[in-house]
Chains A and B, each alone.
Chain A
Amino acid sequence: MASENDTRRAFLQKAAVIGAAVSSAGEMGAAMAQGSRTKTGGSVPRRPLGKSGLEVSIIGVGGYHLGSADDDQAATALVHHALDAGINFFDNAWEYHEGLSESRLGKALGSRRKEAVVMTKVCTHGRDKNVAMAMLEESLRRLKTDYLDVWQIHEVIYENDPQLIFRPNGAAEALAEAKKQGKVRMVGFTGHKDPEIHLRMLASGFPFDTVQMPLNAFDATFRSFEQRVLPEAQKRGMAVFGMKSMGGSGEMIKKGGITPDKALRYAMSLPVTTTVSGMNNLEILRQNLDIANGFEPLSAAEMTAIRERSRLWAADGRLELFKTTTMYDGPIGREQHGYPDPEKLPA
């Protein structure tokens, strides 16, 4: 175990040095660092962010994994490398690693804030508007900025969440107020559990600009966000952020369900604005860039073939544990909903 960790750390240190070199070399960016594996002339395509006039890269850096990078330097290197390579969408959440993910992103962006489209999430989990507004101030401070491009309600996964969010003095009022104050440009919500809960959020009539959901080859045939929520969001002209393209923690890959390449390509070929991908080291960022550079969506026939191949494993949700277990439900949400903590209720 120890030697494995040491090896990994040594590798990452080397990777971080390369990353630092790249960032100091400025525009040189991805192409050099990626060396021979870079596709010549590659660049990450962009898509319009809803009706905002902004454009975002088709792949985004997941905020949770920034907090699990080895240290602040590694996180900074990762963010700089991503920006240099043309990735401009950065996901985050107030509760990730108790603020570390936001602080790291804020530190890494520094004077490059304007190059990035920054999203973070508010973690009221049913609590009052005031809690949401206080969290917003904290997020802005950590992210070292005075505005967010996107502010989303985090983890709408419990069946009474829509009701709690839209009640008088609930989080929905905070979203409207923050937008009015110019502190956030766009608002939305996220969740990984159940398409029905997402649909109830949309049915509220609240003017959400964005929505985030799990989108992957296995979702298509199991409690499917792709089938049920994605068309509805498109119809409303909302920006859609896909996530969990590899099952949350790569379960789909580890269990041999699909290759990482195919999994990411499938998610990115859907009609989404961007696909948020967790990357806690440069190696994973490079792999993602290999796919994103000059990305061409899969054909309809290829998509169908992947879905059909996935159907067998998808049928009981074993590769989408975020839908079928409590493994991915954060501790703050559990606490607010009277659920046992992860120690007592691991799955």
Chain B
Amino acid sequence: MKMEQIPTRSFGKSGVQISALGMGGHHLGSAEDRKTAEAIVARAIDGGVTFFDNCWEYDRGQAEDWLGSSLKGKRQQVFLMTKVCTHGRDKDLALRMLEESLNRLQTDHLDLWQVHGVSFENDPALFIRPNGAAEALMQAKKEGKVRFVGFTGHKDPKIHLAMLNTNFPFDSVQMPLNPFDATFRSFEKQVLPELNKRGIAALGMKSIQGHGDAVKKGVVTAEECLRYAMSLPVATTIAGMEKMEIVEQNLRIAQNFKPMSPEEMASLRDRCNQYADGRFELYKVSLKYDNPEARLAHDFPLDMQQLEVKQMMRATENTGKAFPSVSQ
């Protein structure tokens, strides 16, 4: 019998309820092994998490693969999201990626399919062009393979606004939301109100700013960051949990969640405003969080230290195939 609960919220104006805490897919793919990932997912579901994030390119498919086996027999209990990694490329590529995602996730439909990593200034134009990813989103929805569609990005509120200004009927938008964001190239200030106005589901991420440097340096605690993000008018806050202890910590915060008072939020913002040069939000000011798919599609330099690049190099060794490759 389920004893524990997490507050639920409406996914945009759809009325579909999702948990206010969501599980991040990237960290799931970085768990110690498949068994650990399965245990993490089982524990999260028991604890009241229903929203599961993922992405075609995370850990070269391992994140989707592990989530797929973790959800065996539990698919109906969750709201399943994954992302497509065209980064400006054609509709056909997007649809092939969708089939791969469905296979790995062992399901015939997604609850939410989002365009991943909208980070470059011409991404909105490339998305909406004839034969671009926008057409894939429409088609997948029409075919019943996905219920809702949206986009994500961590770089610049202006790019998010340009996506919204294409007037494509997005159901959701994902973005970094945390107390540092509030005073630096702010999604909270510039994008969130626009989503609320349009009834689009807002999905928060990077509540501890990606790698949690500010937490490690003692500027903020993980708990106050997560509580801050969850106190904003969002449908859910997606958090990475690659270890059981982190699952337990986040479940405890979410299960006991009381929104922060406006005064608490303001004082946290003030504390973070001392670092208004982006040092704790490197995803906005550098390529650090731009995955190889995005960089290759836009012809930006790769970072040989990046986990994804190392995975890519290992996976492409001796195959003679260029990366990225979508299997037929």
Contact = CB atoms under 8 A, between A and B. Distances in A.
Given A316-B298, A317-B120, A325-B287, A338 B276 contact: no
Interface stretch (B66-74, B243-251, B253-261, B278-286): B278-286
Chain A CB within 10 Å, residue with most, of B184, B275, B300: B300
Contacts of B287: 324-326, 347
A316 B280 CA distance: 24
Interface in B75-134: 120-123, 125
B262 interface: no
A327 B285 CA distance: 11
Residue among A255, A324, A340, A345 having the largest count of chain B Cβ atoms under 10 Å: A324
B317 interface: no
B212 to A, nearest CB: 14
A347 B301 contact: yes
Contacts of B13: none
Given A318-B298, A347-B286, A222 B121 contact: yes
B305 interface: yes
B131 to A, nearest CB: 17
Contacts of B305: 344, 346
A337 B279 contact: yes
Interface string A298-327: 000000000000000001111001001111
A10 B34 CA distance: 57
B277 A158 contact: yes
Contacts of A346: 301, 303, 305
B276 A321 contact: no
A259 interface: no
A234 interface: no
A159 interface: yes
Interface string A155-180: 00011110000000000000000000
B299 interface: yes
A337 B277 contact: yes
B115 to A, nearest CB: 16
Contacts of A325: 286-287, 300-301
Interface string A31-58: 0000000000000000000000000000
A255 B299 contact: yes
A339 interface: yes
Contacts of B276: 159-160
Contacts of A160: 276-277
A222 B280 CA distance: 26
Contact of B184 (A159, A315, A318, A345): A159
Interface of A: prevailing SS: loop
A338 B300 contact: no
Nearest to B297: A316
Contact of B277 (A159, A315, A321, A345): A159
Interface residues of A, number: 23
A271 B311 CA distance: 48
A318 B87 CA distance: 14
Nearest to A326: B286
A324 B301 CA distance: 11
A197 to B, nearest CB: 11
A326 B285 contact: yes
A316 B303 contact: no
Given A315-B122, A338-B277, A345-B282, A324 B300 contact: yes
B288 interface: yes
A317 B301 CA distance: 12
Contacts of A340: 282
Given A338-B279, A346-B305, A347-B287, A315 B299 contact: no
Contact of B278 (A159, A222, A321): A159
Nearest to A316: B120
A327 B120 CA distance: 17
A316 B300 CA distance: 9
A317 B287 CA distance: 12
Contacts of A317: 120-121
B303 A347 contact: yes
A315 B125 contact: yes
Contact of A316 (B121, B285, B288): B121
B23 to A, nearest CB: 28
A327 B302 CA distance: 12
Contacts of A255: 299
A77 B303 CA distance: 37
Contacts of A158: 277-278
B25 to A, nearest CB: 24
Contact of B300 (A344, A345, A347): A347
A167 B294 CA distance: 39
A168 to B, nearest CB: 17
B122 A316 contact: yes
Interface in A271-313: none
Interface in B263-321: 275-280, 282, 285-288, 298-301, 303, 305
Nearest to B274: A160
Contacts of B286: 325-326, 345, 347
A182 B300 CA distance: 46
Contacts of A222: 121
A337 B125 CA distance: 34
A116 to B, nearest CB: 35
A344 B120 CA distance: 22
Nearest to A317: B121
Nearest to A223: B121
Given A158-B277, A159-B278, A324-B300, 16 more contacts: A160-B277, A161-B277, A315-B122, A316-B123, A317-B120, A318-B298, A326-B286, A326-B287, A338-B280, A340-B282, A346-B301, A347-B286, A347-B287, A347-B288, A347-B300, A347-B303
5 contacts: A158-B278, A316-B121, A324-B287, A346-B305, A347-B288
6 closest A-B pairs by CB = A315-B122, A338-B279, A316-B120, A158-B277, A347-B287, A326-B286
